[in-house]
Structure 1
Amino acid sequence: MEVAVMPVTAFQQNCSLLICTETRKAAIVDPGGEAEKLIATVEEANATLEQVLLTHGHIDHIGGAADVAAHFGVPIVGPHRADEQLIQGVATQAAMFGTPGVKVPSIDRWLEGGDQVSVGDLMFDVLFTPGHAPGHVIFVNHAHKFIVMGDVLFQGSIGRTDLPGSDHGTLMKSIFQTVLPLGDDYQFLPGHGPGSTLGAEREGNPFIVQGFEG
């Protein structure tokens, strides 16, 4: 498995290109903007894009999805349908953050916890992790112990819960009951900032440490 991380837009959102090294088939996760840059990265990697995957419906994760999917003629998959209202209201999000002109992506397949998505020979389990957004999902590859985390958990922090549809208690439940049980040796790529491991966050993330102590 190859993972190319492409921070995009002023939000510096970690869009990722997941490539199966055996087949060169690929998926792009959370193309938040700068579609031309992302398209060029796919082509330079000599990869065949099969789908666009979305962890959740916030503008910094979906802003370039429609353009990337249209260019390659591929489906947009995810997130959970609970984010449909967020996605349909992308113009409102754009006005809120001062980023007009974002296209509403048309979702070809909504995901549920327990679903799977394949990228060439790679298999990713879909886990439902609401809290930061009501329809947030993460993508877990157990063979490589790797998680595309979206905005659930960061190095030293957690996802915001002051946005419409977010809820702190729900997010913490997702972290403690769904994410951390995967195992300390799982590496993850968050939606913003550097990657980490679940073990490092269990030991040093103040939100998690306080949760354990509480």
Structure 2
Amino acid sequence: MTPALYPVWQDLLLNFTQEETRIQQLWAELEAAYSGKNRHYHTLHHIQSMLQLAETHQVRAQGPLLLKLAIFYHDAVYKTTRNDNEEKSAQLACQRMKGLVLPPADLDQLGHMILATKQHQRQPQPDTNLLLDLDLSILGSGWLTYWEYTQLIRKEYSVYPDVLYKPGRRKVLQHFLDQEQIFKTGHFTALFEAQAKENLRRELDILAR
């Protein structure tokens, strides 16, 4: 078990079940998924960073428990050769939570939140926008941290040669730059928007070489 995260998971799941064995089983599944040999950025460290960022900035979620569940499950399925990772992650989250005391409306919302991480478009539900901003916060980090992140992403896509990877990566970066705002909440826009755009443009310049 990952010492830093299991207590967070345990405290979260105790809101839905008192079965310690079930909590441990669900965690073991998540831990194995995020520890896959082909994962370099989308690991438990990414999950921990999102949770810490939410706590550090004391973000005010309308449904903090659902937000945490979405954080834990949003990259549970991640294969760079597929384009349905978000759908599979949402499906897994809803399947695993269905047997707990989670109302159908909350299950629907959980699935929707995870699916929204596919396109990162502004959503009508505030907590979904908050999840998106936490997920993309790395884009607004200092350049050295951002550059390390890009190298980890490249490792995850190592199956693809540069001739395929670079155009795909440029398309992703341009997708974010073409949006009116990368970040969907006022708080994270103020914190990260300017730096994120600078980082994305700088990476685009490097990819063009």
Which has the larger share of strand? 1
Q: TM-score range by the shorter chain?
A: 0.3 to 0.5
Between structure 1 and structure 2, the one with the greater Rg is 2
Which has the larger share of helix? 2
Instruction: Tell me the TM-score normalised to structure 1 length.
Output: 0.37
Instruction: Tell me the TM-score normalised to structure 2 length.
Output: 0.37
Q: Greater relative contact order: 1 or 2 (C-alpha under 8 angstroms, separation 6 or more)?
A: 2
